[in-house]
Chains A and B, each alone.
Chain A
């Protein structure tokens, strides 16, 4: 689906964001893109969608080069940015102007999604709250039936019931033909939805591994005391939440926040396990 080879990119010459980054993404997965503020999550997504151009290396998205912005590719990409603009029109005129760009646009599915998100179809886009607008562009994006779905912080601004609704909608939106990439800081909103973790740090991919691979190699558990086998630990009420190599083939639940902090703090310990 996506192949990134030696990607180089930076907004200024002195501050490269990506140095020779390579990665391959395939269909049938929900990738969770994690990284500190400024690590380049949004920038990577923009590179994939042809919104910014690489300074070096190759990008292949469904057989296309995204920098060429060919309609055949763009009609297969649903991009939900973190910040967005919606014009002061009603939903139906927005659809009339924008849906024709997507040959597989499914109006019935859109109606279902808007109903699930509790948005009246007669609404004027400009009169809606931030959360409602966000839900509208998510619904529109999924109704395009695009094969590549890119979402930048999709749960920001969603209320509690909408977050649950969002998880249900995404669980049903994943098909074998689709690739879904979600960047997020709100890992607790989405951790059961993500099957593969991509973590960006220090101009490169710090980790790309499926939840299954991570929990085969590492175990996440509460311990009373810290010993040398532990890679990283954070104090908790009843001892420590710890990450360590999975010596005893335990099947623990991935704690994504703990993993994130662990990799930032102890990168060199994890590298040999995931190369």
Chain B
């Protein structure tokens, strides 16, 4: 994993985990990698991963079963979508709007581009 943008590392790890969940790489009933395993994989301080796991717990994405480890919560996909949506609206949308405004891109043009993108990338 590359940490390159300006966002705090623990948030970048949260996004990485959400991505794993949305892509279906982690299953609801399975134990997810421990804090230590994740820290080793990503080459980061375990305390940073712990902070990520605690954040995702407060967002009801992860469950901590004491003594066993971390699991995905039952409705984790919905929770991930909600978390990502809020973060997108707050952090990325203003930037996108700014460019739409500056470059005078209208919504109809955007819509057709969006539909082409969806067909090319997700409809197979």
Contact = CB atoms under 8 A, between A and B. Distances in A.
Interface of A: 28-30, 164, 167-168, 171-172, 174, 192-195, 211-212, 215, 220-222, 251-254
Contact of B8 (A172, A195, A251): A251
12 contacts: A164-B43, A168-B41, A171-B46, A172-B39, A192-B9, A212-B51, A220-B6, A221-B6, A222-B6, A251-B7, A253-B9, A254-B8
Nearest to B38: A171
Nearest to A163: B43
A29 B45 CA distance: 9
A168 B41 CA distance: 7
B48 A192 contact: yes
Given A171-B36, A171-B40, A253-B7, A194 B45 contact: yes
A171 B43 contact: yes
Interface size class of B (residues with CB under 8 A): 20 to 34
A220 B6 CA distance: 8
A215 B6 CA distance: 12
B118 to A, nearest CB: 30
Nearest to B41: A168
A174 B46 contact: yes
Contacts of A193: 43-45
Nearest to A251: B8
Contacts of B45: 30, 171, 174, 192-195
Contacts of A164: 43
B6 A171 contact: no
Contacts of B47: 28-29, 174, 195
Contacts, number: 57
A167 B43 contact: yes
A221 B9 CA distance: 14
Interface in B79-120: none
B3 interface: yes
Contacts of B46: 171, 174
Contacts of B5: 253
A128 to B, nearest CB: 25
Interface in B5-35: 5-9, 11-12
B44 A252 contact: no
A83 B36 CA distance: 31
A253 B43 contact: no
Contacts of A192: 3, 9, 42-45, 48
Contacts of A29: 47
Contacts of A174: 39, 45-47
Contacts of A222: 6
A154 to B, nearest CB: 14
Given A192-B3, A215-B8, 14 more contacts: A30-B45, A164-B43, A167-B43, A168-B41, A171-B43, A171-B44, A192-B42, A192-B45, A193-B43, A194-B45, A195-B48, A211-B48, A212-B51, A253-B7
